[in-house]
Structure 1
Amino acid sequence: MNRSSTAVTTLRRAANWINGVPRFEGPLHDSIDPATYQVIGNYPENGLNAAMAGVAAASKAFITTPWARDHELRARVLEQLAAAFERNREGLLEVLSLENGKIKREAVFELDMVPSKLRYYGAAALMEAGRALRPKPGRLSMILRQPMGVAAVIAPWNSPVVLTIRSLAPALAAGCTTVIKLPAQVAQTASMMARIMGEAEDLPHGVINLFFESGADGSSYLVNTSHVPVVSFTGATRTGRTIAAAGASNLKRFGMELGGKTPMIVFDDADLGLTLPVLEKALTVFAGQFCMTGSRLLVQDGVYAQVRDSIAERLRRVKLGPASDPTSDMGPLIDRANVERVELMVETALRAGAKAIVRGGAIKYGTLAKGAFFQPALLEVSDNLLEIVQQEVFGPVLTLQRFSDEAEAVRLANSTAYGLAAGVWTRDLAKALRVAEGLDAGSVWVNDWARVFDGTEEGGFKQSGLGRLNGLAALEDFVEYKHIALQPGSAGP
């Protein structure tokens, strides 16, 4: 691929990528820019056939290529993939921001996480090892870690590049061959990702296969077929439950990062000069379409009014706009259907007793009305059982509740079915640690938000997931342990 950036005007038909070859079979559908609803390209809809072909290619590659057995090959390819994403960064940035709708600096944030993840797991591939022990005299045992086989990676549209790589990289490092499924809303991005990955010169055909679909036929095949023993899924909790139930008949292994309802707990002694700007971004980054969106604001009595008024003013000033406008603070939702869904959740909350501090909502007039824009909303609530408090919105809607002391803060924070992440804002480190230990959350940030690192595990408690991604623990989803017990034979005459 040319090292120069890919101009938007060159977007054509997206292609699935199976066994190292682009495939265009299937009826064509339009790819849409959610900021303008203009057509930016098209893609073939052929999920089931693409999934079946991808699994066949991955199964063959697992058996016939050295991929599953050659640690050095895996490390080398992961480095080549990292370099390929770096070379094509600008072109992928243009496509991602146009098709996904996120503003440029957010798209940059996503893409710049990719090379280091690939390199981290390239190093992990070289470190991957079993162990040996003598359980008793004359006995020797070996514990081997072996790749499970074909791994399915089902990633969402909200951050399609980094969330694909976050599951793909440890699967490859472990020695699995893979089939990736992405939603059709990001078909152009997915197609370009496949072309970039195809630049890894030592990557055997069939080790990485990728397809996209608007429905779920291909995903269902990946979940149900016995030829795919492990699925890494990132998406909604409801979908996670469905696919886990479907895969149970084959005792399929699942790694899942699911929904979140991140509480942001602000104590009286918080540094509000530091806190308020981050609270705003915690809601508006990716237009609130992020599993770790800071969607619940819990504020202690002493600073409640100040925080309420300040965050309300900040949300009123958020400038919506397309990625092409460098002054945009927040882009659109992924499509109009999601605007209608979020609007209904807000209306339902207001009818149930929530108070609109900032009503926000769908843009109904002007140029932005053509797109899928939603102005941020701030809803004050006293009933902790409202749907808007308990369920993930996946849009820029912030609920506001007050608390009196640490115990109430922890109780409110833990009162949903989710446990992906939380934030604690205080100058008192001892208090921060006490509260963090009491929270049911896989990640807790103190005076910060959404800090994740390649080497630190992340994942959810309760209904927010199974297993962990990032860090060495991510490899566990993709390996089997085998015990080989040896008894040396007696010496011959």
Structure 2
Amino acid sequence: MSRTTDRLLVDGRLVPGTGGTFETIDPATEEVLGEAADGTADDMDRAIDAARRAFDSSGWAGDVAFRARCLRQLREALQNHADELRELTIKEVGAPRFLTFGAQLDAPVNDLGWFADLAESYEWTTGLGRAEPMGMPSERKVYREPVGVVGAITPWNFPHQINLAKLGPALAAGNTVVLKPAPDTPWCASVLGSIIAEETDIPAGVVNVVTSSDHALGAQLVEDPRVDLVSFTGSTATGRSVMTAAAQGLKRVFLELGGKSAFIVLDDADLKAACSYAAFNVATHAGQGCAITTRLLVPRARYDEAAAIAAKSLRRIGVGDPNDDKTLCGPVISARQRERIEGYLELAVKEGGSFACGGGRPADADRDRGFWIEPTLITGLTNESRTAREEIFGPVLVILPHDGDDDAVRVANDSPYGLSGAVHGGDLERARGVARRLRAGTVSVNGGVWYSADVPFGGYKQSGVGREMGVAGFEEYLETKAIAEGV
């Protein structure tokens, strides 16, 4: 790497972590890629202090034009390093190369421009006109203002997407940010910090990046009273801890959490096309996406046929080198994550399920190194099984029968989660009607793609609080102030 990958960004300077360094691993080969800065509690304290001072003392929060210019600078700088970032992402994340031309890199970088445009066009002040409450003539206005210091805690599965989906709107809104990325993918964040420091005019302290092997630094960021808002993406279990800790200071919290989303195939759908697409979806990036549809609901009368189609598709997909343009399913991120998935595969058998394909590590001798799991289809379970209800975060699809539209909706909504979903049917109006009944934040109908900068993303129930992306995501980072003047 020609870019700095072993430094923190604190108060505008690239500095070593006071804890030394820690290794980052290629999940496809288990080889050590290099070292990342190991931040400590002292480093996090300095980063929070820098963000607080930058918000309170600089002109960042009040200069919309400057913020928009800086975001466009960052977008252009990241685009200039796209080839380098692409290779880094493939190696550190294990992301298939084709995904780096979309959600793993190019799309979130381009989205920075959308947030710059939004900041410039947004109606920061709204006049409510004159009124006479209690007989007192008043002129009223509503102002939207930045919240303050944002603590952003991000996972490893789509690091550029999630880092920038927090930085973009938070900065456009006028906040300062302390970013704490996952220990599994520190380089993706370190390079971002390096580019911000060296190739943009973003003032010192406005963005701070603290990589660390210590998960406790995330808790420190949540609990610190100098932090005004916490934006967290990760597991529902950790999200509960974040919300509990933030509640001690009545701190605003935005949470994007887990999912166990349903892919509903109606009885008038093209069964082969729908089930093949469901297989493609769950195998993409080894199933390491919170919004991936991992429950396939099919008409009971065609259950066996649907399982055969999905299994054939998953076997054809297989696993492959993430550097290969044709690879869809690469490795999972770590040995720990592979063991977690294998635990669920063992549980599925205990619960009465069987594997129509996959079920473990590939037998291919070329895969004796790296963290591989075969694309897997589990049959024979009910929606009450833990395997069908809990998030696995791997290339594992559970197929379930339904007895018509009402039953499909019931099964889909019978989940603690409500992040995403999909409906496939021949009659578009009927499919739309089913989609509208799903208790989920995003739904695809007949292959429609909701992922875009202008589309709000988030979930119902235990899938989160608030929205990311779109105007709704931007407004998560704003306060509302009303001022009335006597006239």
- The one-letter code of the counterpart of 1:192 is V
- The one-letter code of the counterpart of 2:455 is T
For each residue in 1:304-346, what CA deviation from the matched residue of structure 2 results, as whole angstroms up to 9, or x when unmatched? 2222101101111223222233443311000111111100111
How far apart in 2 are the matches of 1:369 and 1:11?
A: 31
- TM-score, normalising length from structure 2? 0.95
For each residue in 1:359-405, what CA deviation from the matched residue of structure 2 results, as whole angstroms up to 9, or x when unmatched? 43123662312110100111113422111111000001110111111
- 1:450 Cα deviation from its structure 2 partner: 5.1
- 1:12 Cα deviation from its structure 2 partner: 7.3
How far apart in 2 are the matches of 1:329 and 1:441?
A: 26
Q: 2:121: which partner in 1?
A: 127
Q: 1:115: which partner in 2?
A: 109
- The one-letter code of the counterpart of 1:307 is A
Q: Contact 1:18–1:210 at 8 Å: present in 2 too?
A: yes
Gaps of 5+ in 2: none
- 1:34 Cα deviation from its structure 2 partner: 0.7
Q: 1:19: which partner in 2?
A: 11
How far apart in 2 are the matches of 1:74 and 1:163?
A: 20
Q: 2:22: which partner in 1?
A: 29
CA gap of 1:247–1:467, structure 2 versus 1, over 3 A, is same
Q: Contact 2:4–2:191 at 8 Å: present in 1 too?
A: no
Give 3-state SS (helix, strand or coil) of 2:304's partner: helix
Q: 2:327: which partner in 1?
A: 328
- 1:275 Cα deviation from its structure 2 partner: 2.2
* 1:433 lines up with 2:426 in the alignment: no
Give 3-state SS (helix, strand or coil) of 1:263's partner: strand
Give 3-state SS (helix, strand or coil) of 1:362's partner: coil
Residues 448-463 of structure 1: pairs in structure 2 closer than 5 A: 448=447, 451-463=450-462
Give 3-state SS (helix, strand or coil) of 1:298's partner: strand
How many residue pairs match? The answer is 480
- 1:423 Cα deviation from its structure 2 partner: 0.2
For each residue in 1:39-61, what CA deviation from the matched residue of structure 2 results, as whole angstroms up to 9, or x when unmatched? 11012322422221111111111
Q: 1:96: which partner in 2?
A: 89
- The one-letter code of the counterpart of 1:27 is G
- 1:66 Cα deviation from its structure 2 partner: 1.0
CA gap of 1:329–1:146, structure 2 versus 1, over 3 A, is closer
CA gap of 1:266–1:168, structure 2 versus 1, over 3 A, is same
Give 3-state SS (helix, strand or coil) of 2:141's partner: strand
Residues 212-361 of structure 1: pairs in structure 2 closer than 5 A: 212-361=211-360
How far apart in 1 are the matches of 2:199 and 2:115?
A: 15
For each residue in 1:412-463, what CA deviation from the matched residue of structure 2 results, as whole angstroms up to 9, or x when unmatched? 0011100000000001122112211211100111011653111121110000
For each residue in 1:105-152, what CA deviation from the matched residue of structure 2 results, as whole angstroms up to 9, or x when unmatched? 112222121233211110121123121221227311121111111011
- The one-letter code of the counterpart of 2:95 is K
Which region of structure 1 is more displaced relative to structure 2, 323-332 or 47-56?
A: 323-332
Which region of structure 1 is more displaced relative to structure 2, 406-415 or 210-219?
A: 210-219
How far apart in 2 are the matches of 1:276 and 1:198?
A: 47
- 1:195 Cα deviation from its structure 2 partner: 1.7
* 1:73 lines up with 2:72 in the alignment: no
- The one-letter code of the counterpart of 1:130 is T
- 1:71 Cα deviation from its structure 2 partner: 0.7
For each residue in 1:45-95, what CA deviation from the matched residue of structure 2 results, as whole angstroms up to 9, or x when unmatched? 224222211111111111222110011111111111111111111100000
Q: Contact 1:258–1:291 at 8 Å: present in 2 too?
A: yes
Residues 129-278 of structure 1: pairs in structure 2 closer than 5 A: 129-132=124-127, 133-136=129-132, 138-278=137-277
Q: 1:83: which partner in 2?
A: 76
How far apart in 2 are the matches of 1:272 and 1:200?
A: 51
- 1:222 Cα deviation from its structure 2 partner: 1.0
Structure 1 moving runs of 4+ over 6 Å: none
Gaps of 5+ in 1: 1-5, 489-493
For each residue in 1:214-257, what CA deviation from the matched residue of structure 2 results, as whole angstroms up to 9, or x when unmatched? 22221111100111010111111111011100110100111111
**Percent identity at matched positions?**
34
Q: 1:491: which partner in 2?
A: none
Which region of structure 1 is more displaced relative to structure 2, 57-66 or 189-198?
A: 189-198
- 1:175 Cα deviation from its structure 2 partner: 0.6
How far apart in 2 are the matches of 1:301 and 1:384?
A: 14
- The one-letter code of the counterpart of 1:156 is P
Give 3-state SS (helix, strand or coil) of 1:297's partner: strand
Instruction: Tell me how large the CA RMSD over aligned residues is.
Output: 1.7
Q: 2:472: which partner in 1?
A: 473
Q: Contact 2:97–2:322 at 8 Å: present in 1 too?
A: yes
CA gap of 1:260–1:107, structure 2 versus 1, over 3 A, is same
Q: Contact 1:318–1:330 at 8 Å: present in 2 too?
A: yes
- 1:11 Cα deviation from its structure 2 partner: 7.5
How far apart in 2 are the matches of 1:52 and 1:317?
A: 50
